Structure 1
Amino acid sequence: MRTRILFLLTAFSVSITTAAQKINDRFRLNIQKTNSPMIIDGNVSEDAWASAETARDFFMVLPMDTSFARVKTEVKMTYDEDNLYLVAICYHAVPGPYVVESLRRDFNFGKNDNFLFFFDPFEDRTNGFSFGANAAGAQWDGIIYEGGKMDLSWDNKWTSVVKNFDDRWVFEAAVPFKTIRFKKGMTNWGLNFSRNDLKTTEKSSWAPVPRQFPTVSLAYTGNLVWDQPPPPTGANISVIPYVLGGLSRDHDKNTKTDYRKEIGADLKIGITSALNLDLTVNPDFSQVEVDKQVTNLDRFELFFPERRQFFLENADIFGNFGYTNVRPFFSRRIGLNVPIQFGARLSGKLNKDWRIGIMDMQTKAVGEMDLPVQNFAVMSLQRKVFSRSSVGFLFINKQSINYQPDKDPLTPEHSQYNRNIGIEYNLASPGNFWTGKALLLKSFSPHTSGRTVTHAANLNYTDRKWLLGWQHEYVGRDYVAEVGYVPRTGYIKVNPQLGYLFFAKTGKILSHGPVAQSTYYLNETFKKTDYETYLAYKFNFRNQATLNGLVARNYVKLLRPFDPTNSGLDSLQTGTEHNWNNFSLEYISSPRNLFTYSAYLRYGGYFAEGTRLQVTNELGYRFQPYVGITMSTSYNDLRLPMPWGKRTYWLIGPRIDVTFTNKLYFTAFGQYNEQTKNINLNTRLQWRYKPASDFFIVYTDNYFPEYMSVKNRALVVKFTYWFTM
C-alpha cells in the first residue's frame, strides 16, 4: 500500500509540472477537400466517400477496455468550402432491432444505440464540440467543457440523415464551419468517435479510452489531419427573431385574462472563427420546459439547471466557476421572473491558451415589487497552463440603477449592489487520472466588511479500480453571491471519499465494490454542526443494470428554525441536535428492454427522533421510436412527534412523449405534488421546420387538488427563425 501511495504521489507531481505528449497521438485520420457536391441522404454514393480515408478497428471501452470491439464501425470524413462532412457505417454484430428511446434530439446516451463524434479544434484537450445521432435518426449536439463534460442544451445549425439496412445503419452529417468555433490556420484537430450498441452492451471508440472515463474525454482524442487549413468562415452573422402571442389568467386571484403580444431577437456575430458576440433585445424564454417538481424536505434552496439558449454557448466559462454549492455566478438569477430589456455576451477563444467571457444584462423595473432597473455585468478570463489545466479569473457586478431604499417597512428592500471577485486553478492531468480545483472568492456589499471570503479545493484520483477524493470548503458568514448559488454560508466542510471496484471474469455481474464517504460541516469556530457518513456497495451488471445499497449515519445541529415537513407547521428550534441512521437500496433495470424501471427505497431515522420512509420508482415503456410512456412516483412517510404527527407526501408524474419525426415532438405530462397541494398539467408541441428554427405551442394548467378547481392557466404560441448571413 505504501508503494502504491508513493507511486500515486509521484505520478501526481509529474502530471502537474509537465505537458506530456498526447496519449493517442498515433491515431490519425487524414481529411481531404472535395470539389464535388455532397448530398446528405445516407446512401454514401458520392465520389468523395470512395476516396476518403477510413477509420476502423474500434476499441472496446465497456464492458472492458482490453480488446477490440465486437461491433464493426467504419467512419470517413471530408469537407468543402462550407461544411465538414462525416459518414459512419455502423454494422450489427447480432441480429435484432436497434434500441432507442425516441426520435427526440439530445437523447440519453446510455439508453440508445448511437454514434457520436467529438472534435477539439484547438487541440487544448479541454474544450470542443460533439455531434451524432441514434439509430433512428434523432440528433445529438453539444459543447464539451472541462475536458470531458457535455452540455447538451447548446443547439445550432447542422443536418444529418440516418438510413437503416438489414446488417447496418448509416449516419451521414454535414456541419457548417459557421456553426463551430475553431482556430484559423490549424491543420490538426483532436478527434474521436464513439459507438454505443445496447444489443451487445458494448461501448467502443476509435482512439482507445479507459473504461472509467466517458468516451467524450478529450485527453484521449486521436488526430484529424487536414490537407490544408480549414476554409475561413467569412462573415458569420445570424439573426434569430421571434414572434410570440399568448394569453394567461390567474383564476385564484380572479384577474382578467392577460394577453401577450411580443417580438424580440437574438443576434450572433462571429468576431473571429473562435470568438462570438451574442446580443439580445426583449428576449423571451417560453420554450423553456416546466421544472420537474420534487418533494422538498431539504433545509436549503434547491438547484434547477439553466436551459435558456442565450446563456448556453461557452456557459462553462461563467457558470462552472466554483463548486456545486459554491457558485458565484448562476445565470438563472437573471430574468426568469423579471423581464430582460437587453443583453450582450462576448465569449470564446482568443488563442490556443486564452478564453474570455464578458456578459452584460439589464432587467426592467417592476413597480408592484418596488424593484428597480438592475444591471448584471460579468467578466471571466481563463488561461491554459501545463498540458490540460487552467487558471481562471471572475468578476461579477450586480447594480441597482438610481436606487435608494426607502424607509417604508411594507416596501420590499433590494440591494444597491453586490460584487464578487475570484480566482481558481483547475487541475486536469494528461491522462485525466488526477483532477481537482482550488478556489478563492470575495464578495462586496453595502454595510458588509466582515467574513466575506470563500475558499474551496478538491483533489481526485480515478483509475479502473480506485476512486480517491478529498474536498474542503470554507464559506464566510458574510459572503453574499446574489447572482450565484450558495445555499448556506458560515461553514467549513470536509469531504473525503474512497472507492474500489472488483471485476468478475464471468457471470452476470461485471463489477462490484464499496464506496465510503464522509461529509462534515463545522462552524467558523470549528464546532461540528452536520455530518453524514455512509458506506455503499455497488453492483454493475453486464446488461448495464445497476444495484446499489447504502447505510448512513447523520447528525444535524440546526443553525436556524426548521420545519421538518416544509408544510408551514411549527419549527424545530435553533441549536437543537438530531441523530439518526438510515439505509437505502436502488435498482435500475437494463436500458435495452422496452419495459424499463427503477426503484429506490430509503428507511431510517429523521429529525426529532422521528422516522422517514421514502419509496421512489419510475416505470417506462416505449413503442420505439415514436412513443414513450413513463410514470414516476415518490412517496414519503414521516412519523414525528406532535405538532407534526404522521405526514405523507405523494408526488406523481405521468408523462407521454410522442416523436412523430426527428423534427416534430409532442410532450404531455402531469405533476401531482401533495406537499405543495398543486396539480400541474403541461403540453408542448415543437416543430423544428428548419435547422435551429422552431414553432412552439405550450399550454399549462395548475389546479387545486381538492376540487380540481383551476389556479391559473396559460397558452403561448411562439415562432422563431434562424437567418444566417
Structure 2
Amino acid sequence: MTGAIPLALILSAVSFNSGQAIQAHYTEVRPVIDGILEDLWQNADSATGFIQQTPDNGNPATESTTVYLLYDQENIYVAFRCLVHDLTTVHDRLSEEPDGVQVVIDPFDDNTTGYSFTVGFNGVESDCRITADGGMTENWDGVWWSAVRKYDWGYGVEMLIPFKSLRYPRGKHDWRIDFGRFVIGRAECSFWSKHEITGFKVSRMGRLTGINPPARRLGLEVYPVGLVRQEKSGNYKTGWRDEVRAEAGLDLAYSPTPGGNLQLTVLPDFAQIEADPYQVNLSRYELWLSERRPFFVEAVETFGGSQQPVKVFYSRRIGKPLPDGRAVPIITGVKWTERAGRTQYGFLGTLTGECETEPQSYYSIFAARHRLLTNSELGAIYAGKDNRAFSNHGLGLDVILRSDRLHGRIFTAGSQFGESLDYALSLDGGYESENFAGGLTLRQIQPEFNMNGTGYTTWRGQYGSFYAGPVFYNRSLFRLAMISPGVEIQREWDYPPGTATATGFINSSARFKNQYYLSLWGGYGQDWALSRLYRYSYTGFYFASDYTRPVTITGYTNYYTRTANYRRGQIAPVFQAEINIQARLGDRWKLWLGDDVTVEADSLSRINIRQDLTSVLRPGVEHSFNARA
C-alpha cells in the first residue's frame, strides 16, 4: 500500500485544465447562420488570445481570432471572427486542405471525451467524437449547421449546434470547451487553451460556464427500410440464375434519459457501407478490420473498440463474412448506452441467423467504465456468444492511469471457450514530452485463452517491447523529429523450446520546417515460422511532400531480406512499394493517382509482382486496375 499512495497523490495533484473560461449568454433572438457577424454577437462573451500548439508551441497565434458564444432553448451558437493579414495566402478552395476553425465540447466534464465540429474556410464541415483524452477519434455524423463568409479583413464563421445532437447530464451548468484555428500555409494549429506539442488533450480544455440546456426530450427516431434486391449467380457452364427478392427492416433510436440512448435494429442491411480497403496479408493471422456499420460505431468507446490490449469484443464477428462472400445475417440487435456522473455503461445484444456452417447465435456484451481522479479510468467488459454448437464467454478488467505526460494501463482477461478456461494479462506504459519519448508493452496470453467467438485472438504466448529516444523540437531544419531505438521479443507457445522471435530496431521520423515529412526504419532479428528458425533484416521509408502545394507526392517502401509468406508457405524476400500523386485541378477538382506494388518470390525462385493502379477524380469518378506478373 505504501507504494500506491505517492502515485495517487501525484496523479490527483496534476492540474490539467488551462484556466480559460467563457460565459454562456442566453439570447432571445436567434442568430441567422449566414456568415454575417451581426451586432447580436456583441451581447456574447468572447474568447481571444489563441496559443499555438504547432509549429511554435506556446507562442501567440500569428493571426487574431475572436470567438463568441450564445445559446437558447434549442441550440448553441458559435461565431468566429478570423483576421487575416494577407488573404492571398489563405487556403479556401474545395480542391485543397483548407484553413478553418474547430469547436470541441465536453458536456460531461469528464476530461476524456468530447464532440468536435470543424468548418473549413471553403465551407466543408466535418465532425467526430474524441475519446481517450484526445488519443482516439471515432466516426460520428451529428446534425448541425454552419456558414462561412469572406471579408476584406478575413473570414467570419457561424455555427448552430442543436442540443438534441449532444448528450449531456441533467442539471450541470459548467462544461468543458475549446476553440481552434488552422492556418495551412504555416502548418499552424492554435487553440484557445494551451496544448502540448505531443497532442490535443480534452483534459486541457477551458470552461464553458453558466449554460442551462433544456431537459432532453424523448428523442424518438424511427427509420423503416424497404429494399428490392436482384442477384445473379452461376457460371457460363451451368448457366445463370436471376433471383429477385424484397426485404424490409427497421431502425429505431430512443433517448429516454439525458445520458442514455437505446438503439434497435431489425433485419439491418449494410450494403451502403463503404467496402473495406484491400490489404495484402502474408501472415498466418487474420487482418483486423475497422468497424464501419452505424449501429456498431455509435458509442464504440464504451465497448472498448480497437483500444483493448486483449480484444475481448470485436464487433466484426457479428454478421461476419463467410468464405463464399456472403455475410451471416443479423436478425435483430439492441444496444443501450448510459452516462451518469463519472460512470458510463452499456449493453449490446444481437441475434444472428443460421447460414451454412454458422448456426443461429446470440451475442451479449456488457461494459462499464468509471472515471478516477482527473481523467484516469477503471473498466470492465463481458462478452459472450452462445449457439447449439458451442459457447464462448470472456471477462476483462482494466485500470488506465493518465497524467500530463505519463500514461499506463493494466488489463487482465479470462476466457471460456467450450471446455477450456484460461487468462491473458497486459501491461502498457509510456512517457511523452517535447524532449523525450518512450514506451513499454508486456503481454502474456495463455495457451487456452480464446475469444474468437466474440473477440479477436490471433497469437498466444509472451510478448515484450521497449523503445526510448530523444525528441527534437524546432531544431535546425526540423519542426519535430524523433529517434526511437528499441527491442521486441515474442515467443508463442507452439515454438520449440529455446526459440523466440527477437528484433532490434530503430525508427525515426521528421517533420521539416518546409512541411516535408520523412520516416525511416530498420531492424535485424530472428523469427520462428513455418517450422524454421531464420534470421532477417528489414528497412523502409515513408516520404510526403508539402501538403499545402498544388501537387503533393507521398511514397512508401519496405523490404524484408527474408520473411514468412503463409499465403505461399515459404520464407523468401518481400518488397512492397507505394506512390501517390495528388494534384489540384482548379478550385473544385482533385486528381489522385496511386500505384501499389508487392514483389515476392515463390518456391521456385520465380518473381511474382502484384500491382494495383488507382485513379480518383473528385468530385467524380474512381477507377482501379489490378495486375499480376
TM-score by length of 1: 0.80
In 1, distance between residues paired with 2:259 and 2:329?
31
Secondary structure, aligned partner of 1:147: helix
Which aligned pairs between 1:89-488 and structure 2 lie closer than 5 A?
A: 89-96=81-88, 98-99=90-91, 102=94, 111-214=97-200, 217-226=201-210, 228-250=211-233, 252=235, 254-320=239-305, 323=308, 326-336=310-320, 337-351=327-341, 353-366=342-355, 369-400=356-387, 403=388, 415-429=389-403, 431=404, 433-449=405-421, 452-488=422-458
Deviation of 1:44 after TM superposition, in Å, equals 2.0
Contact preservation (8 Å) 2:459, 2:492 = no
The aligned amino acid for 1:459 is G
Secondary structure, aligned partner of 1:288: coil
The equivalent of 2:323 in structure 1 is none
Contact preservation (8 Å) 1:117, 1:192 = yes
The equivalent of 2:541 in structure 1 is 585
Q: 1:499–1:651: structure 2 CA closer, same or farther, 3 Å change rule?
A: farther
The aligned amino acid for 1:501 is V
Deviation of 1:184 after TM superposition, in Å, equals 1.1
Aligned residues: 611
The equivalent of 2:518 in structure 1 is 547
Secondary structure, aligned partner of 1:178: helix
The equivalent of 1:36 in structure 2 is 29
Deviation of 1:332 after TM superposition, in Å, equals 1.3
Secondary structure, aligned partner of 2:203: helix
Deviation of 1:578 after TM superposition, in Å, equals 1.8
Q: 1:491–1:439: structure 2 CA closer, same or farther, 3 Å change rule?
A: same
Secondary structure, aligned partner of 1:310: helix
CA RMSD of aligned residues (A): 2.5
Residue 522 (1) aligns with residue 491 (2): yes
Instruction: Give per-residue Cα distances to partners, 1:220-268, cap 9 Å, x unaligned.
Output: 1010112x52221222222233333443334657542333533323211
Secondary structure, aligned partner of 2:241: coil
Deviation of 1:202 after TM superposition, in Å, equals 0.8
In 2, distance between residues paired with 1:488 and 1:12?
37
Alignment match of 1:69 (pick from 61, 80, 86) = 61
The aligned amino acid for 1:210 is E
Secondary structure, aligned partner of 1:219: helix
The equivalent of 2:585 in structure 1 is 623
Which aligned pairs between 1:640-719 and structure 2 lie closer than 5 A?
A: 642-658=603-619, 668-670=622-624, 672=626, 674=628
Contact preservation (8 Å) 2:392, 2:454 = no
Contact preservation (8 Å) 1:376, 1:396 = yes
Contact preservation (8 Å) 1:142, 1:150 = no
Deviation of 1:539 after TM superposition, in Å, equals 1.9
In 1, distance between residues paired with 2:454 and 2:525?
28
Q: Percent same amino acid at aligned positions?
A: 21
The equivalent of 1:565 in structure 2 is none
Higher relative contact order (CA 8 A, sep 6+): 1
Uncovered stretches (5+) of structure 1, i.e. residues with no partner: 1-9, 404-414, 559-573, 659-665, 676-725
The equivalent of 1:412 in structure 2 is none
The equivalent of 1:56 in structure 2 is 48
Deviation of 1:112 after TM superposition, in Å, equals 3.7
Instruction: Give per-residue Cα distances to partners, 1:371-426, cap 9 Å, x unaligned.
Output: 322111100011111211111111111111xx2xxxxxxxxxxx421111111111
Q: 1:78–1:602: structure 2 CA closer, same or farther, 3 Å change rule?
A: same
The aligned amino acid for 2:365 is V
Q: 1:550–1:202: structure 2 CA closer, same or farther, 3 Å change rule?
A: same
Q: 1:389–1:629: structure 2 CA closer, same or farther, 3 Å change rule?
A: same
Contact preservation (8 Å) 1:426, 1:437 = yes
Worse-matched range after superposition: 524-533 or 546-555: 524-533
Contact preservation (8 Å) 2:217, 2:256 = no
In 2, distance between residues paired with 1:20 and 1:590?
41
Q: 1:260–1:101: structure 2 CA closer, same or farther, 3 Å change rule?
A: farther
In 1, distance between residues paired with 2:371 and 2:191?
27
Deviation of 1:201 after TM superposition, in Å, equals 1.8
Q: 1:101–1:599: structure 2 CA closer, same or farther, 3 Å change rule?
A: farther
Contact preservation (8 Å) 2:583, 2:590 = yes
Deviation of 1:510 after TM superposition, in Å, equals 1.9
Contact preservation (8 Å) 2:610, 2:626 = no
Contact preservation (8 Å) 1:550, 1:584 = yes
Deviation of 1:350 after TM superposition, in Å, equals 2.0
In 2, distance between residues paired with 1:139 and 1:514?
36
Secondary structure, aligned partner of 2:420: coil
Q: 1:242–1:85: structure 2 CA closer, same or farther, 3 Å change rule?
A: farther
The aligned amino acid for 2:294 is Q
Secondary structure, aligned partner of 1:329: coil
The equivalent of 2:527 in structure 1 is 556
Secondary structure, aligned partner of 2:42: helix
Secondary structure, aligned partner of 1:199: helix
Deviation of 1:580 after TM superposition, in Å, equals 1.2
Deviation of 1:362 after TM superposition, in Å, equals 0.9
In 1, distance between residues paired with 2:167 and 2:295?
17
Deviation of 1:13 after TM superposition, in Å, equals 5.0
Q: 1:671–1:131: structure 2 CA closer, same or farther, 3 Å change rule?
A: farther
The equivalent of 1:717 in structure 2 is none
Secondary structure, aligned partner of 2:617: strand
Contact preservation (8 Å) 2:608, 2:628 = no
Deviation of 1:511 after TM superposition, in Å, equals 3.1
Instruction: Give per-residue Cα distances to partners, 1:81-123, cap 9 Å, x unaligned.
Output: 11111112223243325436848xxx9xxx4422111111111
Uncovered stretches (5+) of structure 2, i.e. residues with no partner: 321-326, 564-569
In 1, distance between residues paired with 2:305 and 2:490?
23
Contact preservation (8 Å) 1:126, 1:146 = yes
Secondary structure, aligned partner of 1:332: helix
